[in-house]
């Protein structure tokens, strides 16, 4: 019984290329009580591997969080399998705006303590006691309400390239930081303001909405299906698009363009740009925004130091990496003193507390 990948990403990419078939990029999540996550993990791996599903899936006692790629001609079989699982029947699937056959190159199903890393040790709140879900039309109306506070629940590097108009975009590295920051800055508005939240696909907002209800917020709303679902709805229903820029996504594409606006800048030269890249130096791997001109000039590196390192023989590069764990101290996201044009996001809570 195979419970792991037996092909490398490169080998899988070759098979996808030879097959010449379209694949759909899909994400979904569901908070539910799973008694044996390991057993459930093995069940879905065996079934999805047979369907040639690829992606990154997290399973925990609190539910499932999945980003994946499905062959278009296997979609109906995949959907039928989801519907055969009681708590996943008719689960909302967020289908990407832009598809990439190489978005995922392996099937990784991992058991985690939580499907969203929140850093919380508070077991007294019910994650299923969520806020009010609103569709795109209601969301557009709600965020024009002067008593509504619109909050982006994503991290700084996500909101930097795209966000909703007039949204609060906390300058944070983690979801956990956002939870405390928002509660602290809106502590005086738990009853008189409508807390409206959004994220990529809805999973972070759903947990946050339950948490803030637990903390005493009376009017909590979230965008159903997040930015991904919002875009599909406005296109299908001819609604006004209130999102500017690009939506950051967690696969090989890194982003989907939602509007023509370029609201970010190259972190190296300051010119308008909104394409993230990872520094090609494997000991660095810094995620940052780089324009085409700097990409060519810097050879896909974030600094001259990294440019010198990648010129070294591979074995010397490996020696330099010894002793460096793959932690946030190495794999940072847009945080580095040598990036002169890294945008410092404003603290937009200030106007609420004046």
User: Does residue 126 fall inside a structural domain?
Assistant: no
CATH number of the domain bearing residue 170: 3.40.250.10
User: Does residue 215 fall inside a structural domain?
Assistant: yes
CATH number of the domain bearing residue 60: 3.30.70.100
Residue 234 has pLDDT above 90, yes or no: yes
Out of 199, 266, 284, 301, which one is annotated catalytic? 199
The whole-number pLDDT of residue 330 equals 44
User: Does residue 45 fall inside a structural domain?
Assistant: yes
The whole-number pLDDT of residue 339 equals 87
- Please compute the mean of the pLDDT values over residues 33-43 and round it to a whole number: 94
pLDDT tens figures, 185-221: 898 999 999 999 999 988 899 999 999 999 999 999 9
User: Does residue 8 fall inside a structural domain?
Assistant: no
Judgement on whether residues 101 and 178 belong to the same structural domain of the protein? no
Quickly state the pLDDT bin for 333 (edges 50, 70, 90): confident
Does residue 302 carry a catalytic annotation?
A: no
In the chain, how many domains are there?
A: 3
Judgement on whether residues 105 and 173 belong to the same structural domain of the protein? no
User: Does residue 210 fall inside a structural domain?
Assistant: yes
Judgement on whether residues 77 and 150 belong to the same structural domain of the protein? no
The whole-number pLDDT of residue 304 equals 93
Return the higher-pLDDT residue of 308 and 322.
308
Judgement on whether residues 51 and 82 belong to the same structural domain of the protein? yes
- How many whole angstroms separate alpha carbon 288 and alpha carbon 157? 8
Judgement on whether residues 105 and 137 belong to the same structural domain of the protein? no
Please answer whether residues 31 and 88 qualify as being in contact, where contact means their C-beta atoms are separated by less than 8 angstroms: no
User: Does residue 176 fall inside a structural domain?
Assistant: yes
Judgement on whether residues 212 and 139 belong to the same structural domain of the protein? yes
Q: Give the residue numbers spanning the domain of 221.
A: 132-237
- 239-268 burial, b at 16+ Cβ within 10 Å, e below that, comes to eeebbbbbbbbebebebbbbeeebbbbbbb
Judgement on whether residues 195 and 143 belong to the same structural domain of the protein? yes
- How many whole angstroms separate alpha carbon 283 and alpha carbon 273? 25
- Please compute the mean of the pLDDT values over residues 26-48 and round it to a whole number: 93
User: Does residue 291 fall inside a structural domain?
Assistant: yes
User: Does residue 286 fall inside a structural domain?
Assistant: yes
What are the backbone angles phi and psi of residue 315, rounded to the nearest 5°? -65, -35
The whole-number pLDDT of residue 95 equals 85
pLDDT tens figures, 294-305: 999 999 999 999
């Amino acid at each position: 019984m195979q419970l792991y990948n037996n092909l490398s990403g490169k080998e899988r990419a070759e098979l996808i290329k030879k097959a010449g078939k379209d694949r759909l990029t899909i994400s979904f999540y569901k908070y539910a009580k799973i008694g044996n996550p390991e057993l459930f993990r093995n069940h879905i791996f065996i079934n999805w591997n047979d369907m040639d599903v690829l992606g990154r899936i997290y399973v925990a006692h609190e539910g499932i969080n999945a980003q994946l790629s499905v062959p278009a001609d296997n979609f109906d079989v995949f959907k039928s399998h989801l519907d055969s699982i009681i708590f996943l029947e008719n689960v909302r699937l967020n289908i990407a705006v832009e598809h990439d056959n190489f978005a995922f190159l392996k099937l990784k199903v991992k058991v985690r303590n939580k499907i969203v890393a929140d850093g919380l040790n508070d077991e007294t709140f019910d994650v299923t006691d969520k806020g009010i879900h609103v569709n795109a039309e209601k969301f557009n109306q709600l965020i024009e309400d002067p008593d509504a506070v619109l909050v982006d629940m994503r991290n700084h590097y996500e909101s930097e390239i795209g966000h909703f108009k007039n949204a609060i975009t906390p300058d944070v590295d983690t979801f956990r930081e956002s939870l405390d920051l928002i509660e602290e800055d809106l502590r005086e508005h738990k009853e008189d303001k409508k807390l409206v939240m959004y994220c990529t696909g809805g999973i972070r907002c759903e947990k946050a909405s339950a948490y803030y209800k637990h903390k005493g917020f009376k009017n909590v709303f979230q965008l159903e299906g997040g930015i991904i679902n919002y875009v599909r709805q406005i296109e299908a229903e001819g609604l006004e698009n209130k999102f500017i820029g690009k939506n950051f996504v967690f696969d090989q594409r890194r982003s989907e363009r939602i509007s023509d606006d370029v609201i970010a800048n190259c972190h190296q030269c300051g010119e308008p740009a909104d394409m993230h890249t990872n520094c090609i130096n494997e000991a660095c791997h810094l995620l940052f925004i780089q324009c085409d001109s700097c990409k060519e000039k810097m050879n896909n590196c974030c600094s001259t130091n990294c440019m010198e390192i990648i010129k070294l023989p591979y074995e010397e590069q490996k020696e330099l990496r010894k002793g460096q764990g793959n932690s946030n101290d190495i794999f940072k996201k847009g945080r580095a003193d040598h990036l002169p044009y890294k945008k410092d996001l404003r603290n937009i809570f200030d106007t609420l507390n004046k």
